[in-house]
Amino acid sequence: LAKTTQPISMDSYEGQEVNITCSHNNIATNDYITWYQQFPSQGPRFIIQGYKTKVTNEVASLFIPADRKSSTLSLPRVSLSDTAVYYCLVGGGAAGNKLTFGGGTRVLVKP
Amino acid sequence: SAVISQKPSRDICQRGTSLTIQCQVDSQVTMMFWYRQQPGQSLTLIATANQGSEATYESGFVIDKFPISRPNLTFSTLTVSNMSPEDSSIYLCSAQENTQYFGPGTRLTVL
């Protein structure tokens, strides 16, 4: 299973853009990159998924370079309610649908 | 996206007893998984719940301790057997459609 590395924590302020970069050097050809958000006492919530280049939805953008060895989750104009742990995962390839969670990035949005 | 519910949402149990956690999905899904999340930690995959056959367990988890049922494509149970305080954790189920969606979790405290 591909291992991911992401910063342990990040601080930001309301209205700023937050970018979280995840390294996944041994990503397999068939693996997708998926990001989840988790609030305390809740299950992880799907944010976005991509394979290559750029993916955008109503809450975030995901940038994936050509070599796919890293990816960056971009959260535009964060608010206090975006304070959470964000997990980067790769999977769906050789490991099938199993997901391996790394440590996640704890994002604190300050007023 | 799949909507997943879990019962109970939380429980406090005595050591040596067993607790069965139920997971219900609002649509038929191919794959369901069970995770454990200890306080302040990331998620760890316990097993894949296979419909019509025995669950597939990850390293460090065994069927005698965590028996799993998957009688149909929308339902699964996880039993935590012969509990000890070390089993105190949040247990989450997930379901795979195009991506993986998570239930709200069951917070278990073992005294």
pLDDT 10s digits, B30-44: 889 999 999 889 999
* Per-residue model confidence as pLDDT tens digits over B41-54: 999 999 999 888 89
* Residue B109 token pair: 């405290």
Are the beta carbons of B99 and A99 separated by less than 8 Å? no
pLDDT band at A2 (very low <50, low <70, confident <90, very high): low
| Residues A55/A38, Cβ–Cβ less than 8 Å | no
Are the beta carbons of B100 and A46 separated by less than 8 Å? yes
Enumerate the residues of chain B whose CB falls inside 8 A of the CB of residue A99. 33, 45, 100
Residue B81 burial (C-beta neighbours within 10 Å; 0-12, 13-18, 19+): middle
Residue B35 burial (C-beta neighbours within 10 Å; 0-12, 13-18, 19+): buried
* Residue B8 token pair: 């109970």
Share of chain B above pLDDT 90, in %: 85
Q: Please enumerate in sequence order all residues whose Cβ is within 8 A of that of B41, keeping only pairs 6 or more positions apart, or say none.
A: none
Find the mean pLDDT for residues A59-64: 96
* Residue B32 token pair: 């369901």
Find the mean pLDDT for residues B84-91: 97
Share of chain B above pLDDT 70, in %: 100
Model pLDDT, residue A1:
57
Residue A19 burial (C-beta neighbours within 10 Å; 0-12, 13-18, 19+): middle
| Residues B36/B94, Cβ–Cβ less than 8 Å | no
Q: What is the number of other CB atoms lying within 10 angstroms of the CB of residue B46?
A: 23
Size of interface A-B (CB pairs under 8 A): 45
pLDDT band at A96 (very low <50, low <70, confident <90, very high): low
Distance, CA of B74 to chain centre: 14
Residues pairing with B73 in the sheet: none
Given a cut of 80, whether residue A98 has pLDDT beyond it is no
Tell me the shortest Cα–Cα distance from A55 to chain B, in angstroms.
15
